[in-house]
Amino acid sequence: MAQHGKSVVVYEAQANIGGGARSAELTLPGFIHDLCSSVYPLAIGSPFFRSLPLSQHGLEWIQPAAAVAHPFDDGTVVTLERSVEATAAQLGPDEQSYRKLMVPLVAGWNGLDVDLLGPVRAPRHPWNLARFGLLGIQPARRLAEGRFQAERAKGFFAGIAAHSMLPLENWGSAAFGLVLAIAGHAVGWPIARGGAQKLTNALAAHLRSLGGEIIPNRPVRSLGELPASRVVLCDLTPRQVLEIAGEHFSPHYRESLRQYRYGMGAFKMDWALSGPVPWTAVECKRAATIHLGGTLEEIAFSERSAWRGEHVERPFVLLAQPSLFDPERASATKHTLWGYCHVPHGSTSNMAVKIENQIERFAPGFKDLVIGRSLMPPNELEKHNANLIGGDINGGAADLRQLFLRPTLKMYGTSVKGLYICSASTPPGGGVHGMCGYFAARKALKEMF
Ligand SMILES: Cc1cc2nc3c(=O)[nH]c(=O)nc-3n(C[C@H](O)[C@H](O)[C@H](O)COP(=O)(O)OP(=O)(O)OC[C@H]3O[C@@H](n4cnc5c(N)ncnc54)[C@H](O)[C@@H]3O)c2cc1C
C-alpha cells in the first residue's frame, strides 16, 4: 500500500514488532533466540520479498551447507542438499525415483512459485502447476509409499511433509513436503544473520522509508478505535476479526468466519548450550534444520496423534541450530538451539522432557550441555502473539477445505467494504513469505483506489 503512495499506519499489540518473526534473549543474556519462525525457505523464495530492497536495510541471508538433516537410529542421516543429485545419491534404491520426482518440479520452480504462493486464480504456468497439483493433492504417506521403497527416503519425505501440521494420511499433505523440498533445492532454507528480528526490522525500515508509521503497544480491540481510513487490513485470524469487527458483518459472513477451523498447536522450546549439539551423525552439523523422528511410521503416528488430541511419547521434533552458522546468536563457544513439536490444539501438557529425549536419542550427551531453557506451550505462545490460537502456528488448519479458500470463499475480502484480512488465515497460508499481505493489498488497491 505504501509503495503505491498510500499513507499507512501499522498498529501492533506487542511492545516489539514482528509477530512470527522476532528475536529476544529468552534464556540467558547474550543468547539471541527466535520467538517463532527461524528458517526461511518461503521468505527467500517469496516473489514479493524478492522485490523489496531488504538487504539495503540490513537483512543478510545465511545459507547452511544443507537445508535439512534427517538422522536415523543407525547413526546415518539424509540431508536435503541444494543439488537434487547429491540428495538422491543418499537414498540408495530410491535414488532414481527421487530424481524423477524432483528434477521437473525444481526446473519449473521459477514461475511455479508465483502460482503456488498465492490464491486460486488462472495459473501463469498451467502445465507446471498441473504436474505439481497431481502430486501435491495426495496424502504425504501415499506419495512416499508409492514412490519410494526404502525407509530412508520415506522418513526423509515424511519429515518435510510434517510441516503441514496435518496427519500425513490427509489429502493435500504431500503438497507441503513437495513445496519445501523443491524450495530446498531451488532457493535453500536460510536463516537471517542476527535472528528473525532482522527480517522484520528490514521490512519495517522499508515501510518507514516510504512514509509508513508503526505504533507498537497498541492492541486494537474494535474497529471504532482506528482513525478514519479508506482501507483497514487485519493481520488477524478469523476469531479475532470477529471480536473487533463482528457486529459490522452480514450474518452469513459472520457464520462463515465462525466455521473456520484451527489446527494442532506447537510446544516451543529454546535452549542456551555450552557447546554444539553432539550429533551421532556428524553430517547434521551441515544443516540449520534438523528433523527428529526417524521413520515415516513414527512421524506419521506423532502427527496423527496430535491431530486427534493425543500426546505421544516420541513426538516428531523440528530443530534449528542457527548459532552453528551465525556467530551473532551467542558468544564464542556457546550455542542456541530452537525447536518445537506438534501437540493437540490448546494442549497444556509439558512436552519438554519428551522433546529433550528425542534430541538425546540422536545426540547422546546433549542434556549435559544445557545451561538455559525456555518453554512455550500453546497458551504461552498465544500470550506472546494473539494470532497463535491454541498454539496453531499457521493461522488455521491447512486441510483441503481451507488450503485454497481461506478463511472463507471471499479470501481477503469481508462483507464490509474496505475491510480486508491479510494474515496467514488467507492464501497461501502459514509461513513467513509476505504473500498473504501482498495479495490482500493488491485487492484493496484495486477495489478501493
Ligand atoms: C513456534 C513457531 C515456529 C515457526 N517456524 C517457522 C519457520 O521456521 N519458518 C516460517 O516461514 N514460518 C514459521 N512459523 C510460522 C510463521 O511465523 C507464521 O505463519 C507467520 O508469522 C504468520 O504471519 P501473520 O502475518 O499471519 O501473523 P503474525 O506474524 O503472527 O503477526 C500477527 C501480528 O498481529 C499482532 N496482533 C494480534 N492481535 C492484534 C490486535 N488485536 N491488535 C494489534 N495487533 C495485533 C500480533 O502481536 C502479531 O505481531 C512459525 C511459527 C511459530 C509460532
Model confidence pLDDT, tens digit, residues 352-401: 999 999 999 999 999 999 999 999 999 999 999 999 999 999 999 998 88
The whole-angstrom separation of Cα 325 and Cα 285 is 9
- The ligand 1 atom at the shortest distance from the C-alpha of residue 268 is 1
The whole-angstrom separation of Cα 284 and Cα 44 is 22
pLDDT at 100: 96
The whole-angstrom separation of Cα 238 and Cα 226 is 19
Query: Cell numbers at residue 331, please?
Result: 558468544
Whole-model pTM: value is 0.96
Which residues lie with the beta carbon below 6 Å from any ligand 1 atom? 11-14, 19-20, 36-40, 42, 219-220, 235-236, 240, 266, 268, 340, 381, 385-388, 393-395, 423-424, 430-432
Identify residue 73 by its one-letter amino acid code: D
In this structure, the residue with its CA closest to atom 36 of ligand 1 is: 13
Centre of ligand 1 to C-alpha 297, Å, is 30
Q: Which mutation among 179, 317, 387 tests ligand 1's pocket best, with the greatest number of atoms within 8 A of CB?
A: 387
The whole-angstrom separation of Cα 433 and Cα 284 is 26
Centre of ligand 1 to C-alpha 424, Å, is 8
Average pLDDT over residues 408-415: 96
Average pLDDT over residues 95-105: 96
Best CA proximity match to 268, nearest among 388, 156, 159:
388
Instruction: Using only the alpha carbons of the chain, give its radius of gyration.
Output: 21
Centre of ligand 1 to C-alpha 222, Å, is 20
Q: Is the pLDDT of residue 118 over 80?
A: no
Average pLDDT over residues 235-254: 97
Task: Give SS3 for 250.
Answer: coil
Tell me what the pLDDT averaged over the chain comes to: 95
Residue 179 C-alpha from the chain's centroid = 12
Q: Is the pLDDT of residue 167 over 90?
A: yes
Task: Give SS3 for 428.
Answer: coil
In this structure, the residue with its CA closest to atom 6 of ligand 1 is: 37
DSSP β-ladder status, 265-273 and 335-343: antiparallel
Query: Cell numbers at residue 141, please?
Result: 504417506
Centre of ligand 1 to C-alpha 77, Å, is 31
Q: Is the pLDDT of residue 125 over 90?
A: no
Query: Cell numbers at residue 67, please?
Result: 537445508
pLDDT at 356: 98
Query: Cell numbers at residue 75, please?
Result: 547413526
Centre of ligand 1 to C-alpha 19, Å, is 4
Task: Give the residues across from 320 on adjacent strands.
Answer: 289, 338
Model confidence pLDDT, tens digit, residues 398-409: 988 888 889 999
Model confidence pLDDT, tens digit, residues 65-91: 999 999 999 999 999 999 999 999 999
In this structure, the residue with its CA closest to atom 41 of ligand 1 is: 220
In which band, very low, low, confident or very high, does the pLDDT at 281 lie, cut at 50, 70 and 90?
Answer: very high
In this structure, the residue with its CA closest to atom 7 of ligand 1 is: 37
Model confidence pLDDT, tens digit, residues 309-345: 999 999 999 999 999 999 999 988 999 999 999 999 9
- Helix, strand, coil % (nearest 5) of the chain? 45, 15, 45
Q: Which mutation among 48, 165, 235, 239 tests ligand 1's pocket best, with the greatest number of atoms within 8 A of CB?
A: 235
In which band, very low, low, confident or very high, does the pLDDT at 199 lie, cut at 50, 70 and 90?
Answer: very high
Identify residue 273 by its one-letter amino acid code: L
pLDDT at 122: 65
- How far is residue 224 from each of residues 228, 246, 386, measured CA to CA in Å? 9, 12, 20
Degrees (nearest 5) of the Cα angle 21, 27, 33? 25
pLDDT at 315: 98
Least confident residue range of 103-117, 142-156, 189-203: 103-117
Centre of ligand 1 to C-alpha 21, Å, is 7
pLDDT at 332: 85
Identify residue 309 by its one-letter amino acid code: G
Centre of ligand 1 to C-alpha 291, Å, is 22
pLDDT at 401: 84
Q: How many CA atoms lie within 13 A of 300 on its CB side?
A: 20
The whole-angstrom separation of Cα 221 and Cα 243 is 7
pLDDT at 116: 72
**Cis before residue 407, ω within 30 degrees of 0?**
yes
Model confidence pLDDT, tens digit, residues 336-360: 999 999 999 999 999 999 999 999 9
In this structure, the residue with its CA closest to atom 16 of ligand 1 is: 431
Q: Which mutation among 10, 61, 385 tests ligand 1's pocket best, with the greatest number of atoms within 8 A of CB?
A: 385
pLDDT at 120: 67
> How many C-beta neighbours within 10 Å does residue 128 have?
20
The whole-angstrom separation of Cα 162 and Cα 123 is 26
The whole-angstrom separation of Cα 36 and Cα 393 is 8
The whole-angstrom separation of Cα 198 and Cα 58 is 7
Centre of ligand 1 to C-alpha 388, Å, is 7
The whole-angstrom separation of Cα 85 and Cα 377 is 39
Average pLDDT over residues 209-231: 97
In this structure, the residue with its CA closest to atom 50 of ligand 1 is: 37
Range list of H helices, 61-211: 84-88, 95-107, 109-116, 126-136, 140-147, 151-161, 173-186, 197-209
In this structure, the residue with its CA closest to atom 5 of ligand 1 is: 37
Place of cell 551467542: 330
- The ligand 1 atom at the shortest distance from the C-alpha of residue 43 is 11
DSSP per residue, 350-410: --HHHHHHHHHHHSTTGGGGEEEEEEE-HHHHHHH-TTSGGG-TTSS--SHHHHSS-SSTT
pLDDT at 112: 67
The whole-angstrom separation of Cα 158 and Cα 300 is 7
Range list of H helices, 167-292: 173-186, 197-209, 238-245, 251-258
